[in-house]
Amino acid sequence: MPLKLEIVTPEARIYSDEVDTVVLPGYEGEMGVLPAHSNLVTTLVPGELRITKGGKTIELAVGEGLVEVTGSVTRILTDAAIDSEKIDEKAAEEAIARAKKALETLKPGEQQEEVAAAMAAIQRATIHLNIKRKRRTI
Amino acid sequence: MPSTRDIRRRIKSVKNTAQITKAMQLVAAAKMKKAQDQASHGRAYAEMLNKVLVNLKVHAEEGIHPFFAEGKGDKTLVLLIASDKGLCGALNTNLFKKLLNTQIEGEVEYVTIGRKSVQAINRLRRTLLADFPIKDPAKFAEVRAVSRFIQDKYRTGEYKKVLAVFNNFINTVTILPSVEQLLPVNPVTLGGKRDFGHEITPAAAATLEYKFEPSAQVVFETVLPQYVNDTVYQMVLESRASEHSSRMVAMKNATDNAKQMIKDLSLEYNKLRQAAITNELLEITTAKMALE
């Protein structure tokens, strides 16, 4: 029984294919999904998602979202998903610097939305960097 | 009978109008492309989120989240999404007609997006709670404010349900004014036909057991507000794509009509001119013949 994986973001349908296994960053830690997994719903936290298909592994950096697992289909809805090979290290570093600067100018307790947005940007960029650098050391 | 000078003046004025409508058509066409892309890209995500939640709704224990059940009150909140500007054919008129033909029980209160919808609500003397101006192209952060307002209102329990009235974009010439239920969570059609290919019937779904990590409450509490945000955003995108397409088509028709009018007027003008020349020639020949 194959496992069908669908990943969609607000911008596009990133992935839709049958895979052997997928490892995703769930709310309670990294979680592997194999075919015929029991039905499960969980939230996705920003992190690294690995898809294995025919011995090949694809790594994606994902954002927050929702995961629905049924026996045959795994649906992942996330606000961002980017292939690790397409991550731009320099852009990620710049994003961190920019967000940190923004955090300094914002006063604590005020403009909570902006603070949250900056924090999220730092988190996202850090994950991108981690995934990219990990690959290089291997 | 108009003189040749009158006709010349009319041709000139029609030509000017044609120039303006042509320019508007080109502007609308450029915006249309962008708006259509935006709407079609977001659709997959919004649809799937809706699908997943509709499936989960069956399993949700009663009272697990307010967004899964009708509110206690008997009021209805309607989100009306229309365009800011006119000159887009019958787009807004059709939408308002659809709204008026929809039977809604109990007291109805409105939240609007777009200047045309505010005007309509005021003209109809309905209760307007809030109006949100949203720029073009629509930004997610702006739409989130609308969505948050609606959610806060719904959480008070005064409203039985929240409906959204907007234009569904199917293709450039087909636009479908729609009324969809936003809350409680319900199947929503966004843009054209809905692929519910692997939809599970409620009966079959009830036999499926889901495990929630860490708990159903936490999952729903994070996902449902996002769902409302995203669905409202997608609805705005659909409306915007419809607006620009409709305007493009309206302006193209206007330009074509103006061109046809210029053609007709030119023909009339030439006929008149020729008649005048023939007349003059006749006079000259008669005068000459009289002299001989």
CB-based contact (8 Å) between A105 and chain B? no
Whether the predicted pLDDT of A3 surpasses 50: yes
Q: Which of B41, B212, B230 sits opposite A42 (nearest CB)?
A: B212
- Nearest residue of B to residue A26, measured between CA atoms: B213
Nearest to B91, CA basis, from B194, B188, B173: B173
Residues near B274 by beta carbon (within 8 Å), at least 6 away in sequence: none
C-alpha span between B192 and B178 (Å, rounded): 11
State how far residue B199 is from chain A, nearest Cα, in angstroms.
Answer: 12
* Cα→Cα distances B75→A59, A115, B102, B154, B163, Å: 49, 36, 15, 10, 11
Task: Assign B208 a pLDDT band (cuts: 50, 70, 90).
Answer: low
B215 neighbors A28 (Cβ within 8 angstroms)? no
Q: What residues of B are in contact with residue A73 (Cβ under 8 Å)?
A: 198
Instruction: Measure the CA–CA gap between B191 and B175, rounded to whole angstroms.
Output: 9
Of residues A114 and A68, more confidently modeled? A68
Q: How do residues B137-156 score in pLDDT, each as one tens digit? A: 888 888 888 999 999 999 88
This prediction has a pTM of: 0.83
As a whole number, the mean pLDDT across chain B is 87
Cα separation, B60 vs B223, in Å, equals 13
From the list A27, A39, A64, the residue facing B211 with the nearest CB is A39
**Structure tokens of B94?**
């059709």
Q: Supply the ipTM of this predicted assembly.
A: 0.72
CA atoms within 13 A on the CB side of B132: 24
The helix (run of H) or strand (run of E) holding residue B87 is none
Question: What does each C-alpha distance from B46 to A2, B53, B175, B231 come to in angstroms?
Answer: 26, 11, 19, 6
Contact A9 B213 (CB under 8 A): no
pLDDT tens, residue by residue, B31-76:
999 999 888 888 888 888 888 888 777 777 777 788 888 888 888 9
Q: What is the pLDDT of residue B165?
A: 92
Distance CA B142, CA A108 (A): 23
With cut-offs at 50, 70 and 90, classify the pLDDT of residue B197. very low
Q: Quick check: B183 pLDDT over 90?
A: no
Percent of chain B with pLDDT over 90: 45
Tokens representing A99? Answer: 């967000």
Query: Which residues are A32's β-sheet partners?
Result: A23
Interface contact A12-B49, CB threshold 8 A: no
Angle, helices B91-101 vs B115-123, to 10°: value is 40
pLDDT per residue as tens digits for the range B233-268: 999 999 999 999 999 999 999 999 999 999 999 999
Taking only the tens place, the pLDDT of each residue in A19-64 is 888 998 888 888 888 888 888 888 888 888 888 888 888 888 888 8
